Structure 1
Amino acid sequence: MIRLWPKSLVGQLLLIVALMLLLAQGVNSFLLYRGAQSQNLVEASTSAVSRIAFGQDRQSSDRPMRRGGAARVQRWGRLKYSANSVVTDDMQRLPELETRAGQAFANMGIVFSDIRATFTRNLTTDMTGHLIGTNRRAWRDNPINRSMGDKRAPPETRGFVIISAQQADGQWISIASVVRERTPLLVRTLLFQTITIYLLMLIPLILLGRYISRPLKSLTAKAHGFQPGETEDLAEQGPPDMRELIRAFNVMSSRVSSMIKEKDVMLGAIGHDLRTPLAALRVRVENVEDDVERERMVAGIEDIDHTLDDILSLARLGRSREQSDPVDIRSLIETIVDEFTDLGHEVHYQRGDKQSALIRETLVRRALRNLIGNAILYGKAADISVEKSGNKLTINVDDDGPGIPEEKIESMFEPFLRGEASRNRATGGSGLGLTLARAIARDHGGDIILTNREQGGLRATLVLPAG
């Protein structure tokens, strides 16, 4: 399917301007066309009025017709004299032409008691011999006129204007005049005008759009690739508003980097200040004589240490110095499975084809350990499979546990929220495993998805970009 609406802001602005110009030119064309049609009617009615005035002048002067006069009358069109007007009541009258004709007759000193005007596509048989404006082609085909360079074809006939005027004695004088169609010339003029307007308007707008879009694209790329701690500012370029935006972005990125640096320093201090007394406490606990009490104390210290490790890992995620490299997912999973089976846990992996992914191995290893550990903790066993779909690689970790109610699945990713209500790490963990796993997946451009299996249990899916 062809996308007609552009994605970029500059493209959308150019399209809107082009559409508005097209709409304005369409309205202008319509008005010009209506004006041209009206002008054609006025020209035809002017010829008819002139012919009636000429006839009245001849009639009032009672002068004999000169030699060749009959031929001119035949060429100009004979006036129709009748007791009734040829413009009947069922015809559509043209008040504007009637008013113009009345004023013209009055200016020439000719008085008519009534004037009627109408436009028709086809003449009635009684008016076919009373028509003017039909011999233009013969006039242009005259050898003398052709020798003067007038070789243009006459415009096509659009219809006829009929002017009918009533004399004082009640007799009507009528004449029809050809209305010519000049649309082809008008269309060529409008087309040339439209092309000229588009060239004068759109070319500068395109240049202006490129002037704006270049720094905007640079700013977008800088924002997408932003890494805390970068010291190189984006060069200020473009119009004043864009320069101000880039300047604000540079100041914001500097503030963010400073805040993250301060947080890293604080987290490092917290890790050092907490682990040192924990290590000393561990040494002292070893001197406790009661074995049961000593084991409880050691487990509590280890619980605090593991929780602290998870918190620091989650807080520092995204700023790891480890580079992403192509990793054989099959070998990575087998290594993790061996670690769990060596500890006596039931973990199954259906070895398939070699699949590669561009990842940071240490982080993904930790995410998989968390998912498999949850499957063993709540389902007693884990079944692992790998699938590839397009540019995505999915690692499924299935268990046979009780699953999770649908309304609580999303909340399981919240920090310190566990599926087991107790605070005992042996039964419920620290509550950061899924949170950390999803953060690792999303840091790689993937995600963690939890779904209840139809046959029972839960499926945790780790989605990663395929290498």
Structure 2
Amino acid sequence: MKPLSILAQVTALALATLLLAFALCFAVVIATPAPKPLRMTIGDAVAALQGKPGRNFTLDSGVAPPSGPGIPQVETAIAEALGVNPSRVHARWLGVASMARQVGQSVVLVGNRALLVDSDDEGLRMRWSGNETFAADTEMPPFMAWYQGANGAWQSVSPVDLRLAAWRLRMLIALGLALVLLAFPTWYAARRLTRPIQRLATAAAGSALHTSHPFPVEGPREVREVGAAINAMHTRLADEADERLKIFAAIAHDLRTPLTGLRIRAEFMPPTERQRVIEDIDRMADMTAELLDYARFNHRPLHRECIDLTAFLADVAEGRRSVAQNVEFHAGSDETLVLAESAALRRAIDNLIDNALRFAGDAKLSIEHRPGYVDIHVDDNGPGIPEALLQEVLKPFSRLEGSRSRETGGAGLGLAIVTRIAASHGGAFALSHRAQGGLRATLSLVME
């Protein structure tokens, strides 16, 4: 069964998230009891005015009571509890509706009037009279009270509505629970969506023209279509590169015959011209071979094998010294294993040694280890390269001078070939200046 498209998966995830969030909130509303009406007593107001407000009341100073009718019964009860004249007390309902208690005395608001309700096993008895007074512990709807002290300053007490505090806490818990429950499925869905894209990006980073269908065709429909389209494009590019390489190889091969003929004819030329013509012909043949090698190194697949780099470099240096070339090798360890193609690696090392010998007359090979990589250094004591040109000379056909002479650097492809060989092995190539003078060429390879 093919996976759903990205649009379908994102839509399903969004709907599932909303459904779970609403279900949790609905469960909190249904499963938890409703908050009780806000109630307070005369005793609460008196305690707050006496400087002992609880956590559910606030006490303010310097605020005069509003004009208009108050609550005579509440004002009388507060004045009696404080032992002051009722004219120094003022109270106003806060307009919060409430129901009577099942047992005991309650006050129910009817408009701006207060109805005193006595409730017991025999039923309800309601009383209304301007002379009725409220007991100190009678629960009643919330009100705000003002008291004028001996110095004439007013103090006010008002309740803090904490009825919904528990519900707010429950809603926060529900939201937190929703986040916890949704975290894993959301992460899993995002992982399923992004994994094919990550694999596609990894394949693109490591793809080459010689690989066959390197891009995976998997995952959601949109990603599969992208993978198939990239594979088709890759095939077209590879076919075009094959065609161009075949044309170039044919041209290079066909040039060898006339060059050989010219080389033979040059032997019969006058001695004064013979050597110059022979050198020109040899330079043309070498440049053609370099161009063909440069094209092939980025196109053909590598045939890697496990190579003991210490023994490999020792053999290269020994071969150079056997023809009287000043090449030294300093082994850093007894054995250093890398996974590489022997012919390509030898070509890269030979190019670096040739450059060192050409411009400095000597070359020193060494090995340096670092986590996951091994660096092959080729040092010389030559004049070096200007700092601004260290990266420029790594590009194809880039040279420090433009003569194209074999004695001064050829076609400018040697370092470009080394860069391609390093990249094809998953490594890197760089040039740097030595502290004691001269140039250092570093070829980095992945350790086995």
Question: Is the TM value for this pair above 0.5?
Answer: yes
Could you say which residue in structure 1 is the equivalent of 2:325?
345
The within-5 A match list for 1:20-35 is none
Structure-2 change in CA distance of 1:165 and 1:48 (3 Å): farther
* Change beyond 3 A, Cα 1:318–1:423: closer
What is the aligned partner in structure 1 of residue 300 from structure 2? Answer: 320
What is aligned with 1:249? Answer: 230
Aligned-residue offset at 1:164? 4.0
Shift of 1:420: 4.3
Alpha-carbon distance between aligned partners in 2 of 1:257 and 1:383, rounded to the nearest angstrom = 39
* Counterpart position of 1:300: 280
Alignment RMSD, CA only?
4.6
Aligned residue in 2 for 1:67: none
Deviation track 1:186-208 (CA, whole Å, cap 9, x = no partner) reads: 36512441245336654553453
Q: What TM-score, normalized to structure 1?
A: 0.64
Matched, 1:84 2:80: no
Cα deviations by residue, 1:137-171 (Å, 9 ceiling, x for unpaired): xxxxxxxxxxxxxxxxxxxxxxx9742499xxxxx
Partner of 1:267: 248
Structure 2 residue 137 is the aligned partner of structure 1 residue 163: no
Q: What displacement does 1:320 show? A: 2.9
Aligned twin of 2:38: 43
Does the 8 A contact of 2:360 with 2:381 survive in 1?
yes
Once the two structures are TM-superposed, the CA of residue 410 in structure 1 deviates from its matched residue by 1.5
Separation in structure 2 between the aligned mates of residue 275 and residue 132 of structure 1, nearest angstrom: 117
User: Does 1:194 find its partner at 2:189?
Assistant: no
SS of 2:324 mapped into structure 1: coil
How much does 1:99 deviate? Answer: 6.1
Q: What do the CA deviations read for 1:46-94 (whole angstroms, capped 9, x no partner)?
A: 9999x999963999xxxxxxxxxxxxx99xx89975332479xxxxxxx
Q: CA deviation at 1:435?
A: 1.4
**In 1: Cα distance, 2:85 partner to 2:353 partner:** 109
- Partner of 1:304, secondary structure, is helix
Residues 390, 341 of structure 1: CA spacing in aligned structure 2 closer, same or farther, 3 A cutoff?
Answer: same
SS in 2 for 1:43: coil
CA distance in 2, matches of 1:447, 1:296: 39
Question: What letter matches 2:358 in structure 1?
Answer: L
Name the structure with the higher helix share: 1
Q: 1:395 to 1:210 in 2, by over 3 A?
A: closer
Query: Where do 4+ consecutive residues of structure 1 move more than 6 Å?
Result: 45-49, 51-55, 77-80, 174-178
Q: Conserved in 1, the CA contact under 8 Å of 2:422 and 2:444? A: yes
Judge conservation of contact 1:350–1:385 (CA < 8 Å) in 2.
yes
Structure 1 position 56 matched with structure 2 position 73: yes
Letter in 2 for 1:163: A
Contact 1:323 1:360 in 2 (8 A): yes
Say whether residues 1:212 and 2:229 are aligned partners: no
Deviates more, 1:187-196 or 1:252-261: 187-196
Aligned partners of 1:163 and 1:176 also within 8 Å = yes
Q: Compare 270-279 and 415-424 and name the one that shifted more.
A: 415-424
Once residues 234 and 457 of structure 1 are traced to their aligned partners in structure 2, the CA distance between those partners, rounded to angstroms, is 44
Give TM-score scaled by structure 2 length.
0.66
Matched with 1:334 is 314
Counterpart in the other structure of 1:226: 207
**2:111 matched residue in structure 1:** 107
Aligned partners of 1:221, 1:81: CA distance in 2, in Å? 87
Structure 2 residue aligned with 1:311: 291
Is the Cα contact below 8 Å between 1:48 and 1:163 reproduced in 2?
no
CA gap of 1:238–1:331, structure 2 versus 1, over 3 A, is: closer
Change (3 A) 1:215 1:410: closer
* 2:388 corresponds to 1:393: no
1:21-69 Cα distance to aligned partner (Å, 9 max, x none): 9xx99xx9xxx9xxxxxx99x82469999x999963999xxxxxxxxxx
Q: Call closer, same or farther: CA 1:462–1:57 in 2, change over 3 Å.
A: closer
Match in the other structure for 1:424: 405
1:279 aligns with 2:283: no
**Identity between Structure 1 and Structure 2 (%):** 28
Instruction: Tell me how far 1:369 sits from its aligned partner.
Output: 0.9
8 Å Cα contact 2:41/2:137 also seen in 1: no
Name the counterpart of 1:171.
none
Equivalent residue for 1:367? 348
Report the counterpart of residue 393 of structure 2 in structure 1.
412
Equivalent-residue separation in structure 1 for 2:215 and 2:410 (angstroms): 45
Q: Name the aligned partner's letter for residue 373 of structure 1.
A: D
Structure 2 CA distance for partners of 1:344 and 1:200, relative to 1, 3 Å: closer
The answer for the alignment partner of 2:122 in structure 1 is none
CA distance in 2, matches of 1:211, 1:402: 56
Alpha-carbon distance, 1:400 to partner? 1.4
Contact 1:162 1:177 in 2 (8 A): yes
Closer/same/farther in 2, CA of residues 259 and 284 from structure 1, 3 Å limit:
same
CA deviation vs aligned residue, 1:324-371 (integer Å, no higher than 9, x gap): 111111222222223322332211222342222111111111111111
Question: Any idea what SS the aligned residue of 1:396 has?
Answer: strand
1:357 and 1:466 in contact (8 A); partners too: yes
Q: Cα offset for 1:252?
A: 1.9
Corresponding letter in the other structure for 2:313: I
CA positional deviation for 1:378: 0.8
In 1: Cα distance, 2:214 partner to 2:339 partner: 29
Q: Is the 1:229–1:261 Cα contact (8 Å) retained in structure 2?
A: no
Contact 2:38 2:163 in 1 (8 A): no
Question: Could you say if the C-alpha distance between residues 326 and 267 of structure 1 is closer, same or farther in structure 2, counting changes exceeding 3 Å?
Answer: same
Cα deviation for residue 177 of structure 1 reads 7.7
Does the Cα contact within 8 Å between 1:79 and 1:130 map onto a contact in 2? Answer: no
**Structure 1 unmatched ranges of 5 or more:** 1-12, 33-38, 60-72, 88-96, 111-128, 135-159, 167-173
CA separation of 1:419/1:228 partners in 2, compared to 1, >3 Å: closer, same or farther?
Answer: closer
Deviation at 1:292, TM superposition (A): 4.7
Q: Distance in 2 between matches of 1:205 and 1:105?
A: 52
Match of 1:258 in 2: 239
